[in-house]
Amino acid sequence: GENVEQHPSTLSVQEGDSAVIKCTYSDSASNYFPWYKQELGKRPQLIIDIRSNVGEKKDQRIAVTLNKTAKHFSLHITETQPEDSAVYFCAASDSWGKLQFGAGTQVVVTP
Amino acid sequence: NAGVTQTPKFQVLKTGQSMTLQCAQDMNHNSMYWYRQDPGMGLRLIYYSASEGTTDKGEVPNGYNVSRLNKREFSLRLESAAPSQTSVYFCASSKDRGGTYNSPLHFGNGTRLTVT
């Protein structure tokens, strides 16, 4: 089955700097890669997603890149703000469409 | 439009007790899921229901049972709770089979379960 690895497990950045989270996946048939943000005590919420036929997608300060050949994808957050502090999860779909999640990255934005 | 609603929000059980976690969605979604979240392990799929009347095991089904009561409701039952089932449980739903671009997952607010 699909296996998703996510790094780093924690990331501390200064406000205004950029943050990058990287994930690798094992199933070459995976075709959908969402990212979820979970604030403390809240539900995971979808922030951006990408299909396998697209290499990059942007939405304001966040972007996701996908390298199918290397089987890795990344989340980029620019001009970080305190409200970006949260746990971020990457995920990849298996052949049925069930999502396999990474272990999560705790992002802390310090003023 | 409440989205995905889970009850209860918190629960403490003694080892061996049973309980049912309830989940309902009002988005007319076909597929529903139960995940557990443990520190450092992300979200792991326990059971899912691709459509009304069907259920299938996920990654970590042992110790759990589910019922897809109707299109709206999907319950998770712990028959004999164990300390290893201490976790945060999330229900989710999607329009069609989950994990696709046109059918993202929508999560409930979670149930924090402690088994002593």
Q: List the single best residue of B97, B100, B102, B103 to mutate versus A (max A Cβ within 10 A).
A: B100
- Under an 8 A CB cutoff, do B104 and A34 touch? yes
**Chain B residues contacting A, CB < 8 Å?**
40-45, 48, 58-59, 90, 97-101, 103-105, 107-110
- Residues A36, A53: contact at Cβ < 8 Å? no
From the list B42, B48, B59, the residue facing A102 with the nearest CB is: B42
Residue B45 sits at the vertex; the CA angle it makes with B66 and A69, to the nearest 5 degrees, is 150
One digit per residue, the tens of pLDDT, for chain A of length 111 reads: 788 999 999 999 999 999 999 999 999 889 899 999 999 999 999 999 998 888 999 999 999 999 999 999 999 999 999 999 999 999 998 777 788 999 999 999 999
pLDDT for B40 equals 83
Per-residue pLDDT of chain B (116 residues; tens, 9 = 90+): 689 999 999 999 999 999 999 999 999 999 999 999 998 888 999 999 999 999 999 999 999 999 999 999 999 999 999 999 999 999 999 998 766 777 889 999 999 999 99
Could B100 and A97 be called an inter-chain contact, meaning their C-beta atoms sit closer than 8 Å? Answer: yes
- For an interface test with B, the pick among A3, A32, A47 (most B C-beta atoms closer than 10 Å) comes out as A32
Q: How far is residue A34's CA from residue A46's CA, in Å, rounded to a whole number? A: 7
Q: How many interface pairs between A and B have CB atoms less than 8 angstroms apart?
A: 58
Pairing outcome for strands A32-38 and B43-49: unpaired
DSSP character at residue A84? G
User: What pLDDT, on a 0 to 100 scale, did the predictor assign at position B100?
Assistant: 72
Using omega within 30 degrees of 0 as the cis cutoff, is the peptide bond preceding A82 cis? no
Rg from Cα positions in chain B: 13
**Which residues, 6 or more positions from B105, have their beta carbon under 8 angstroms from its beta carbon?**
A34, A46, A99, B33, B92, B93, B94, B98, B99
- Structure tokens given for B13: 């059980």
Q: How far is B79 from chain A (nearest CA, A)?
A: 26
Instruction: State whether A32 and B98 contact (CB < 8 Å).
Output: no
Beta bridge partner(s), residue A76: A20, A63
Interface contact A27, partner B, CB < 8 A: no
